[in-house]
């Protein structure tokens, strides 16, 4: 079972990385194009700024998910400097578990937010509903929680095998 979850995580990481490349390309392309249109032709597209804001949201959440996978996320490790080294694995397991649990709750809350937005007639541009762009929220939090729980599993196995 854990092998299947790891394969899913590997596939998700590749998909996220590919999507990040595309989104960043689109951000540069539309930003540069909009700047050229505004500066040289005194015109531009009204929807571009709104679209770019949504892309920033997606890039941020996909990047956060990959950062957790690669253990490159922001962490506060003050406590690890004050506890004995023999307790650090237990602390890492506890922190990983709590982080996974918190992101499960955040994923649920984000999904409820998207459901609420689905009932709303809010559109961003070209009559595209706002909730479509907001689906990145529950998805990313769910993937982040999966990755934290994978880390807890790895740390637990390593801890028990060391004993």
Say which residue, 79 or 61, is predicted with more confidence.
61
Which range has the worst mean pLDDT, 8-22, 68-82, 105-119, 140-154? 68-82
Q: Residue 97: which pLDDT band, with cuts at 50, 70 and 90?
A: very high
In the chain, the percentage of residues whose pLDDT exceeds 70 is 100
Exposed e or buried b per residue across 118-134, where buried means at least 16 C-beta atoms within 10 angstroms of its C-beta: eeeeeebeeeeebbebb
Q: What is the mean pLDDT of residues 4-19?
A: 97
- Please give the pLDDT value at position 75: 81
CA distances from 35 to 29, 43, 59 (A): 10, 9, 21
| Domain span including residue 120 | 2-162
Is the pLDDT at 59 greater than 80? The verdict is: yes
Say which residue, 77 or 128, is predicted with more confidence.
128
Is the pLDDT at 163 greater than 90? The verdict is: no
* Measured distance CA(131)–CA(150) in Å, rounded: 29
| Domains contained in the chain, number | 1
Q: Residue 115: which pLDDT band, with cuts at 50, 70 and 90?
A: very high
Q: What is the mean pLDDT of residues 106-118?
A: 97
Which of 73, 72, 58, 74 minimizes the C-alpha distance to 22? 58
pLDDT per position as a tens digit, 139-162: 999 999 999 999 999 999 999 998
- Please give the pLDDT value at position 86: 87
- Please give the pLDDT value at position 1: 86
- Please give the pLDDT value at position 162: 81
Q: What is the mean pLDDT of residues 39-51?
A: 94
Is the pLDDT at 77 greater than 80? The verdict is: no
Cα torsion at 162, 145, 71, 28 (round to 10°)?
160
């Amino acid at each position: 079972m854990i092998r299947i979850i790891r394969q899913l995580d590997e596939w998700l990481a590749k998909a996220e990385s590919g999507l990040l490349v595309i989104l960043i390309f689109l951000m540069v392309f539309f930003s540069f194009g909009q700047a050229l249109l505004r500066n040289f032709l005194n015109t531009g597209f009204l929807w571009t700024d709104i679209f770019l804001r949504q892309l920033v949201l997606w890039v941020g959440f996909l990047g956060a998910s990959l950062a957790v996978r690669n253990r490159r996320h922001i962490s506060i490790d003050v406590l690890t400097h004050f506890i004995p080294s023999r307790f650090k694995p237990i602390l890492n397991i506890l922190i990983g578990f709590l982080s996974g649990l918190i992101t499960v709750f955040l994923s649920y809350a984000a999904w409820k937010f998207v459901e609420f937005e689905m009932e709303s007639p809010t559109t961003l541009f070209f009559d595209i509903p706002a909730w479509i762009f907001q689906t990145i929220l529950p998805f990313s939090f769910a993937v982040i929680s999966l990755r934290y729980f994978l880390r807890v599993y790895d740390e637990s196995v390593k801890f028990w095998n060391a004993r």
